[in-house]
Amino acid sequence: MNKIDTDNKYHRVHMGNLLPNVKAPCNLFLKFKGKVIPIIKEDQAVDIEFINRMESNDIFFALIVKEDIKKWEIWLKKRFPFREAIEWFTVQDNPEILKQIASYKSYAFDKIKISPDECENYDQFFIRTNQKFTEFIKDINLKWYFSKYWTDQSFFHSANVSYLLFLFIDYCKNELKIDIRDDKEKCLIQFSIIHNLETEKNLKDNDIESERTINFLKEKKIILHNFVGGFLKEHLDFHKKNNSESYNIDELSFFYKTFFIVDSFEKNRAKIHGGSRKERIKKAFDPIKNNKLADPKIKSQFEKFLERVVFKI
């Protein structure tokens, strides 16, 4: 089985969660010499010799079929009910991580606001959105991101994109009555945070942000939520195919189409200086308006949404 097939069919899990004489929740596999081979069957008790053998060969990850991800996660929660809580304290008690999160959030909140005139009860709106956005970013799955220092351009661009995207999704749910699952929304926002990882100021002219991000994640062996990984793959595929005349934007998910418009708008806005608020918004949105890769319905709604937003230079 080739690498592409493996990536599409299997999900990587840490074998440190397997304990001696405890039954495996699903079938586990190992990639060996280009093939995927079964190593443990569902409900098979794991013996100590197997664990020691894996560790002695520096094998710390196994594969499960993607259909078994939920089964694995449910088993983990039952097996280690305090695991997430313990990990959460490592975020809560780390002043450097909390400082990074505060810097990220305060920058976004300072630069982007919904006009109070657009809300019946602005205080209630702000409390609700503040709590939810904080919950999305102050998450154990982003501990690695806020443990590292990125270039200012990457860090603050992601702050603007993720918060503006969060507000636009909130607008779509409330004004357009679009039903969006919280877990998908959370993963979309987390993808928008990590989509453009830059650790060096001098980047190559032909550098593709999605490839750079994927290479970093692979190098550091960072495991993403399945939805976040899916958005990142969609991001890479989009940038590889968008020069093709036969490219069909209907292949993209609603979530990625939304991200693409918000990300493009923020990149355009960063280059515009001077002029009134309306002029700057118009200059940033005009290229999107004429972009055939931007979904017509979503960009129309985004244009209406922008009337509610106040941007600080």
What is the tens place of the pLDDT at every residue in 252-269?
889 999 999 999 999 999
Q: What is the mean pLDDT of residues 201-205?
A: 48
User: Is the distance from CB of 154 to CB of 197 less than 8 angstroms?
Assistant: yes
Dihedral sign (CA 250, 254, 258, 264):
negative
Q: What is the DSSP annotation of 181-240?
A: -HHHHHHHHHHHHHTT----SS--TT--HHHHHHHHHHHTTPPPPHHHHHHHHHHHHHHH
Task: Please determine, for residue 298, whether its predicted confidence score (pLDDT) is greater than 90.
Answer: yes
Most confident residue range from 77-81, 144-148, 164-168: 164-168
Higher pLDDT, 119 or 201: 119
Whether the pLDDT of residue 195 is over 50: the answer is: yes
**pLDDT mean across residues, the chain:** 83
The mean pLDDT value for 165-172 works out to: 95
Per-position DSSP letters for 79-93, written without gaps between them: H-TTHHHHHHHHHHT
